[in-house]
Amino acid sequence: MSREPVDTRRVDAREKVTGAALYATDLHPDQVAHAVLATATVGRGRITELDVSAAAAVPGVLLVLTHLDRLDLQSPGFIMGGGYGVQSMQPLLDDRIAYRGQAIAMVVAETLTAATEAANLVHAAYEQEPFAVTLDSPGVERLSQPAAIPLPFLADLDVGDAESAYAAAALRVDATYDQPAQHQNPMELIGATVFWRGDTLVVHEGTQNAGAIRNGLARQLGIDAANVEVISPYTGGGFGQKNSLQIHIAPLALAARRLGRPVKLVVSRTQLFHHTSFRPASRHRIRLGADEHGRMLAAIHEVEHQTSRHDLFPLMYTEITSRMYGVRDFRGRQTFARMDTQSPGFMRAPFEQPAAFAFESAVDELAYAAHRDPLEFRLANDTTVDPISGEPFSSRHLAQCLRRGAKRFGWSARQQRPASMRADDGSLVGWGVAVGAYPGSIVPSAAHLVAGADGRIRVEVDGHEMGQGIRSTIAILVAENLGVGVHRIDIVIGDTRVAAQHLTAGSWGTASTLGAVQAALRALREQLGADATGPVDLAAAVRATGRDHVEVRAETLGPGQTEQDIERARRGHPALSGPEFPGYSTFSWIAHFVEVRVEPSTCRIRVPRVVSVADCGRVASPVTAASQVRGGIVWGIGASLREAGEVDPRYGGFLNASLEEYPVPVNADIGTLDVDFIGEPDLRFSPVGVKGLGEVSMVGVAAAVANAVFHATGVRHRRLPIRIEDVLAGASPPA
Amino acid sequence: MRPFAYTKVETLAEAVDALVAAGPQARLLAGGTTLYDLMKLEIETPPAVVDVHRVADLAGFDTSGDRELVFGAGARMADVAEDGRLRRDYPALSESLWRAASQQLRNMATLGGNLLQRTRCPYFRGGEPFACNKRRPGSGCAAREGLDRSHALFGGSEACIAVYPGDWATALVAFDAEVDVLGPGGARSLPLVRLHREPGDTPQHEHTLEPGEIILRVRVPATPAGRGSAYLKIRDRESYAFAVVSAAVALTLDGDGRVDECRIAVGGVATRPWRVPAAEQALRGNEITEASARAAGEAAFADARPGRDNAFKIELGTRTVADAVRLAGSRAVA
Ligand SMILES: Cc1cc2nc3c(=O)[nH]c(=O)nc-3n(C[C@H](O)[C@H](O)[C@H](O)COP(=O)(O)OP(=O)(O)OC[C@H]3O[C@@H](n4cnc5c(N)ncnc54)[C@H](O)[C@@H]3O)c2cc1C
Ligand code: SF4
C-alpha cells in the first residue's frame, strides 16, 4: 500500500481565508433576536433606581432582563475555585455593583440597532461606595496565597535558605518590576448564538472550554448537563479569555427560553475590557545573589497581583522562576491584592510572561554586576536537574537554544558596554537576550475514530481550534500514521456532542489531544488487523471486516492521573497534571535574542529583528508551530513596548477601552522574526514526544526587549510598557 | 445609535437647502469615518444627516496651479496623498495625509471631513460616567485632574484641554491655507487658522462655521517652501495612530544657505491647528545646524503649559521640530 504524501499546510486555511468557516456569531438562525448589554457607570455600589421604560419603548425591543426580574440563576462558580465561570459573580441577579462596566441589563430586540439604542436608554441611579482599582490604591486588601488557599500546588516555594544565602552573596541585585493589566483582545469578539431545541439548550460560542460552558450552564440553570450542547468548531483567538463560561450565556439562555427564539449576543470591543478576564497587574520584587565569579546562589521572588473582591485568581509566577537556573536556594512569596474589578484570569503565558520579564531583567542586571556577557552568564548558570524537586527534567535543551540562537543572531559581535553600538543612521543599537520556560501539563483526553469503507476517517476528540492549528496537527498525525491523505480526514473538535471538551489551554492541548488520537490509532490498527506501523489501505481494511465502518475509542491520562481525573474532566473541570511528574518534571524552553534601535533624537524604539529558538519537544506541525512562535514574539513586543490597561482611579475600570487607545503592535512594528526549533522529542513526557509551545513562545520576549533597551541606552527600565517618555527621560541632553 | 433622518444630495444648492431645512442640529456626512463613529458612541446624536459624498462640485483637486493649490472638500485623503506633484513639491502636505489613519480609512475619508474631525480625548469618547464639558457642557473636565498624556500643552482652558488631532490641518496651517465655504447667506472665505476655535468657556463649539455652511474647498498659496517641507509625526506605534507630537516645517534657503521663508506648526499638542511664529523667527536668517534647529524647537515649546503626564512632550516636541527642520532643510537643498 502506498503512502499518500502529507500536506502540512493548515487544513482549514481555505475555509478561513474565503470566509466559509462559520464562527459562532456568524450564524443567523431563523427568527434570531439580538441582545446588547447595558453596563454600570460607577466603580462600586448599589443600584437604587433602574428605569427601563425608555428602553422597552424602543420599537423592536422584545425583552429587557435586569435583576428586578429575579432571574432564576445560580452562580457558575469561578473556574479557579471549583466552578466553571470566568468569575463567580453573576451580574443581573441583585442590585450590587462590584466594578464599573458590570452588566446591569440585557436588552433583546428584533435588530441589533434597536437593541443597541435601547441599551443606551437604560437608566440607573446608584448609591456609590469607595473602591480601589490599582495596586497602589488605598483599600486594596492583601492576602498571602498559602493562607488564603492552603493547597499544595499554591504553596510558597522554599528551598534551602535563600535569605541567608542572599545576605551572604558577594554580588546582589534587588529590584522591583511592574507589569500592567493587559487585555487579550482576540480578533473574534466574545459572543454566542443560543437557542432551545425542546428541552435541550444549544450554545454556539467560540471557546477554549466547551465542557465548562456545558456543565456550568447546567449548574446555573438547574438542568441536566446532558441537555446542553456546546458547539465551537472555530474560535477566533482565545488567549485565555475564552477559557470558561462567560457571564452573558446563562441570561441569554433565559431570554431564548422566554422568547422561544434564538438569541445572539456579541460583546462590543469596548465592553470586553470590563466584561471578561484580563491579565492582572502584578509587581515583582526580585533579589538575586551570586558569588564573585557570577555563580548564582540565591533567588527570592516576591510577587503580588491584582484579583477581584469576589474571586482569588491564583498566582503561579514562581513555578518557572525557580527552575530557570541552577540556583540552590530559592524563596517565593505570592500575595493577592483584592480590588474592585471583574475577576482577572489567564492571558497567554499568564504568569510566565510577567515573571520572566522581572526575573530575566534581574538576571541581566546581575550579569552586568558580575561584568559578564549576559549570554555566557546564563549558560554558566544552566542546570540539568530541577532545583525544586531535585529530579531531572524530562528534557531541557535550553543551553542548546541559547547557543543556536546566539549563532543565528551573530551575538559574538556584541560589545558588552551599554550605549556602545551604533547603526549607520546614528541610532543606538541594543542586543538583548532572555530565556523563557513554561510548565508541561497533560490532561485526560478522549478520542473516537470512525474509519469508513469509503476510505475516509472521522476523528472526534477533546480539543479546541483557537487558531493555534490543532486541527492541522491532528490531521498530520493521522495522515502520517495511516498514510492517508489529509483530505480524507474529518475532524470534529470543540463539540460536546462528541467528547467532554474540557479546557484547551496552557499549551497542553497538543500533547494531550495527540496522545489520545495516537492511542485510538493503535486500537484502530488492531481492529483492522493492520500492522503496528506502516500505511493502511483504509477502504480495503474496513471492507474486509464486512462492515461499512469500524469505530474505536481511546482515553488517555497524564502520568500519575487516575479515573478520577477523567471524571473531573467529564464534569468540565480542569484536571491537569504537571509540571512535576513521578521521577521528573517537564517544561518547554525558549531563548530569545532581540535587537532594538533607539532613535537618538525622539527616542522611538524599534525592533528590527528577533531570533527565537524553542525546545518544545517534537515539532508536531512545522507551519503552525513557527506561526505560534512568531505570534508569541509579536505578543511579547506588544507587552514590552505598547500594551497597558490604563486606569483612572477616580472612575474605576479601564480608561482606554478600545483598540484605538489600547495599542497593539501593527505590521509596521514588526521586523524580521527568525524562528527555529531544537526538535528533540520528549518521549518521557508524552508518547508523541511533544511539549507545549503556544505559551512559551511569548515568555522572555519582554525581558529580551528591555535588556536590549538597556544595552542600547545604559538605562534600565523596570516598568512595562517602555514608552517614548521613559527612554526620553533617561536620554542624555542634546549636545 | 439613535434613529435619524437621512438625505442624500447631488448638488451644492440641494445640500445647503437640506441643511437649512433640517435645522441647526443636522450634520453633513462625507466619508462618515468620524461622524458615524461618534454616532455609534452616541456622542453625536443628530436628528438628521445630509450626505454630500456624491456632490460632484466638492470632489477633485488641482495641484498644478502656479498661484495656488486647490483641494475640493470631497476629495479623498488617499487620492490626494498619492498625488505625484504634491509628493514632490509639497511633501509635508502629502505626508500629513498618508501618515494619518489607515489605508482603508483614507480611501473613505474626505479632506473636508478631516478638517472637522473631533478630539480623541478618551473622556470625551468614553461617554458616561466621565465629566466632559465638550460632551456635556457644565459637567467638568475629567482630563484636568486625570490621565492627560494625550492632552494639550497649548490653547487649553479651565474648561477643556482636548487636543485637536488632525494632521492635515496642522500641515495646512503652516502653509497659510484658506477655506472657501458656502452657506444660506452665500459664499465666503476665511483663513484656515480661523476655522477652529480654542475651547475657552465653550469647548462644545469647535469651529466658526455658521449653521448651514459647507466647506467647499481648501486653497493653499503656491510657495517654493513646499519643496523644502516635511511633516514628522511621532506616534506610539509605527503606523495607524494619532500623533503624540508632530511638526510641519516648510522653508527655503537663500544663496548663503540661510533660512529665508520659514513656516512651522506643531500637532498633537494643541487645542487647534497650532502655528509657532516664535520658532519661525528663531530660525529665519540662520543656517540650519544642530543648534539652530534645536533653538527653533525650544522656541516652539517655550510657552507650553503641561499637565500631569504630558510634560515629556516639551522635550519630545522640541526634538521633533528640530528633526523636521533638518529634514526640510535637506529637501530644500536637494
Ligand atoms: C481609527 C481612526 C484613526 C484615525 N487616525 C487619524 C490620524 O492619525 N490622523 C488624522 O489626521 N486623522 C485620523 N483619523 C481621522 C480621519 O482622518 C477623519 O475621520 C476623516 O478625515 C474624516 O473625514 P470624513 O470624510 O470621513 O468625515 P465625516 O465623518 O463624514 O465628517 C466629519 C465631520 O466633518 C463634517 N463635514 C464633512 N464634510 C464637510 C464639509 N464639506 N463641510 C462642512 N462640514 C463637513 C461632518 O458634518 C462631521 O461633523 C482617524 C480616524 C479613525 C476612525
Ligand atoms: S479635555 Fe475637553 S474633551 Fe477631554 S474631558 Fe476635558 S472637556 Fe472633555
CATH value at residue B31: 3.30.43.10
* Mean local confidence (pLDDT), A232-239: 93
Residue A342: predicted pLDDT: 98
Integer Cα distance of B142 and B127 in angstroms: 11
What residue's CA is closest to ligand 2, atom 2?
B160
Among B39, B57, B75, the domain boundary falls at B57
Residue B282 belongs to what domain range? 224-333
Within 6 A (CB) of ligand 2 lie B 119, 121, 123-124, 132-134, 141-143, 151, 160-162, 203
Atom of ligand 2 nearest to the CA of B152: 1
**Nearest Cα residue to A665 out of A705, A693, A625, A626:** A705
Run of H or E including A382: none
Residue B246 inside a domain? The answer is: yes
Encode pLDDT of B131-187 as tens digits.
Answer: 999 999 999 999 999 999 999 999 999 999 999 999 999 999 999 999 999 999 999
**pTM listed for this prediction:** 0.96
Are A668 and B146 a contacting pair at CB < 8 A?
A: no
Are A667 and B2 a contacting pair at CB < 8 A?
A: no
- Chain B residues with CB-CB distance to A118 below 8 A: none
Q: Which residues of A620-635 are buried (b: 16+ CB within 10 A; e: fewer)?
A: bbebbbbbbbbbbbbb
What is the residue-averaged pLDDT of chain A? 95
Q: Which residues of A208-226 are buried (b: 16+ CB within 10 A; e: fewer)?
A: bbbbbbbbbbbbbbeeebe
* Mean local confidence (pLDDT), A44-71: 98
- B124-130, Cβ contacts within 8 angstroms, sequence gap of 24 or more: B124/B43, B124/B162, B125/A658, B125/B38, B125/B41, B125/B43, B126/A655, B126/A657, B127/B41, B127/B42, B127/B43, B128/A41, B129/A41, B129/A42, B129/A100, B129/A651, B130/A651
Report the half-sphere exposure of A237 (CA within 13 A, side-chain side): 13
Are A41 and B3 a contacting pair at CB < 8 A?
A: no
Amino acid identity, position A124: A
* Mean local confidence (pLDDT), A619-629: 91
Q: Which residues of A25-63 are buried (b: 16+ CB within 10 A; e: fewer)?
A: bbeeeeebbbbbbbbbbbbbbebeebebeebbebebbbb
Integer Cα distance of A562 and A556 in angstroms: 10
pLDDT at A507 over 80: no
- Apex A299 CA angle, A347 and A313, nearest 5: 30
Run of H or E including A429: strand A428-439
Residue A1: predicted pLDDT: 57
What residue's CA is closest to ligand 2, atom 8?
B132
Q: How far is the CA of B89 from the centre of ligand 1 (A)?
A: 25
The alpha-carbon radius of gyration of chain B (Å, integer) is 20
Nearest ligand to the CA of B146 is: 2
* Mean local confidence (pLDDT), A654-682: 97
Percent of chain A with pLDDT over 90: 89
* Sign of torsion over alpha carbons A344, A348, A354, A359: positive
What residue's CA is closest to ligand 1, atom 28?
B32
Q: Which residue of chain B has the CA closest to A638?
A: B237
Establish whether A292 is a catalytic residue: no
Q: Where are the beta strands (DSSP E) in A155-227?
A: 158-159, 171-179, 191-197, 200-205
Beta bridge mates, B200:
none
pLDDT at A289 over 80: yes
Run of H or E including A714: none
CB A127 within 8 A of CB A46: yes
Atom of ligand 1 nearest to the CA of B167: 11
- Whether omega before A233 lies within 30 degrees of 0, making that bond cis, reads no
CATH number at residue B313: 3.30.390.50
Confidence band (pLDDT; 50, 70, 90) for A469? confident
**Nearest Cα residue to B269 out of B189, B186, B91, B149:** B149
Encode pLDDT of A675-690 as tens digits.
Answer: 999 999 999 998 889 9
pLDDT at A3 over 80: no
Integer Cα distance of A305 and A292 in angstroms: 34
Residue B146 inside a domain? The answer is: no
Residue A9: predicted pLDDT: 84
Among B27, B57, B87, the domain boundary falls at B57
Residue B288 inside a domain? The answer is: yes
- Chain A residues with CB-CB distance to B130 below 8 A: 651
Measured in degrees and rounded to the nearest 5, phi and psi for residue A217 equal -65, -40
Integer Cα distance of A65 and A70 in angstroms: 9
A44 CA: distance to closest CA in chain B (Å): 13
For chain A, first and last CA: distance in Å?
A: 76
Confidence band (pLDDT; 50, 70, 90) for A568? confident
* Mean local confidence (pLDDT), B228-246: 97
pLDDT at B290 over 60: yes
* Sign of torsion over alpha carbons B121, B122, B125, B128: negative
- Apex B325 CA angle, A667 and B275, nearest 5: 95
Burial of A714 (0-12, 13-18, 19+ CB in 10 A): middle
Residue B24 inside a domain? The answer is: yes
Integer Cα distance of B97 and B91 in angstroms: 10
What is the residue-averaged pLDDT of chain B? 97
Encode pLDDT of B110-121 as tens digits.
Answer: 999 999 999 999
Integer Cα distance of B161 and B156 in angstroms: 4
Atom of ligand 2 nearest to the CA of B130: 5
Encode pLDDT of A238-277 as tens digits.
Answer: 999 999 999 999 999 999 999 999 999 999 999 999 999 9
Integer Cα distance of A266 and A274 in angstroms: 14
CB A221 within 8 A of CB A191: no
Residue A570: predicted pLDDT: 85
Residue A621: predicted pLDDT: 87
CB A104 within 8 A of CB A47: yes
- Whether omega before A579 lies within 30 degrees of 0, making that bond cis, reads yes
Are A724 and B145 a contacting pair at CB < 8 A?
A: no
- Chain B residues with CB-CB distance to A661 below 8 A: 120, 122
Q: How far is the CA of A352 from the centre of ligand 1 (A)?
A: 42
Residue B292 inside a domain? The answer is: yes
Residue B309 inside a domain? The answer is: yes
- Which domains are seen in chain A, by residue range? 13-20+442-575 (3.30.365.10), 31-129+187-237+242-275 (3.90.1170.50), 152-181+279-440+583-730 (3.30.365.10)
Among B19, B34, B57, the domain boundary falls at B57
pLDDT at A220 over 60: yes
Confidence band (pLDDT; 50, 70, 90) for A735? very low
β pairing state of A428-439 and A421-422: antiparallel
Integer Cα distance of A602 and B245 in angstroms: 10
Residues 6+ apart with CB under 8 A from A41: A100, A124, A126, B128, B129
User: What single-letter DSSP state applies at residue B241?
Assistant: S
Does any CB of chain A come closer than 8 Å to the CB of residue B294? yes
Residue B303 inside a domain? The answer is: yes
- Apex A62 CA angle, A56 and A63, nearest 5: 70
Amino acid identity, position A103: A
Percent of chain A with pLDDT over 70: 99
Encode pLDDT of A304-321 as tens digits.
Answer: 999 999 999 999 999 999
Residues 6+ apart with CB under 8 A from A660: B120
Encode pLDDT of A314-343 as tens digits.
Answer: 999 999 999 999 999 999 999 999 999 999
- Chain A residues with CB-CB distance to B238 below 8 A: 606, 666, 668-669
Instruction: Report the interhelical angle of A470-482 vs A622-641 (nearest 10°).
Output: 160
**Nearest Cα residue to A1 out of A552, A546, A531, A548:** A531
Burial of A564 (0-12, 13-18, 19+ CB in 10 A): exposed
CB A37 within 8 A of CB A248: yes
Nearest ligand to the CA of B117 is: 1
pLDDT at A734 over 70: no
Residue A283: predicted pLDDT: 98
Residue B182 inside a domain? The answer is: no
Integer Cα distance of B225 and B260 in angstroms: 9
CB A624 within 8 A of CB A460: no
How far is C-alpha A217 from the chain's CA centre? Answer: 23
Query: Which spans in A72-229 are helix H?
Result: 112-120, 145-148, 162-168, 210-221
Total tally of structural domains belonging to chain B: 2
Integer Cα distance of A646 and A486 in angstroms: 46
